[in-house]
Amino acid sequence: MTEGERLQKVLARAGVASRRTCEELIRQGRVAVNGQIVTELGTKVSPQDAINVNGQPLPQGEGFMYIMLNKPAGYTSTVRDPHADHSVVELVPVSERLYPVGRLDKDSEGLLLLTNDGDFAQLLTHPRFEVDKQYDVLLDGAPSDSEVERLLQGLQIDNEWLYFHRVRFLCHSDQGAWLGVTLHQGRKRQIRRMFGWLGYHVLRLVRVEVGPVRLGELAPGQYRFLTDVEVKQLRAAATTAAPRPAVV
């Protein structure tokens, strides 16, 4: 085949998975085109081709969905996890198969995007773009100015260089202090690990923004569809974001 689109792109756009995962499915021989197993990533397909993944036909004409969920604590940001009591997909009862865009750990709360558009998901999660994400964080104490500076300059933790882009004090509470934290990076449990390195315990962690999209007044456990304008703004934020130079 010499015309059409690359197979992995078609799979990702249909919501099978991210493009990288779709490439792995092809390599493993789990994708067939017109009844023939395909393992070459350069394969191109047309709308007339019949595509099967794991023996199941690829849905034709499926529209993309873009959803914002206010994730409560206690839910995992996965589609399937045999060890999880609850998954975020339980909170979004739609017929299409959706995938979380990035993750919030089980104990964290707030804004989580879900979609069946694999290209969109990869755009927002690829480390090349580092779209801003903002969090409200309740600590069991208030860091000093010098400690905040350490967080901004970066810390070497478990062989990873981690840093906060911005930190601001929000208010005191009976339990400690609320801080606003902005990340460019998206490392696993990054905020908890960095504050823990300084000896602080994160009591609550709520994501309130992803790029230009804000959580707003959406109640915990509730979801809504993103507007066309919000989807375009998120794409623009990803394609224009610039990585931060390494601190040396």
The first and second tokens of residue 90, run together, are 């339980």
The answer to whether the CB of 232 falls within 8 A of the CB of 226 is no
The first and second tokens of residue 246, run together, are 């390494």
**Amino acid identity at 223:** Y
SS3 label, residue 80 = coil
Question: What is the sign of the dihedral through the CA atoms of 90, 103, 70 and 193?
Answer: positive
- Annotated catalytic residue, options 81, 105, 117, 132: 105
Annotation marks residue 49 as catalytic: no
CA-based nearest residue to 155, from 197, 201, 199, 184: 197
Report d(CA 177, CA 175) in Å as an integer: 7
Report d(CA 71, CA 207) in Å as an integer: 9
Catalytically active residues are 105
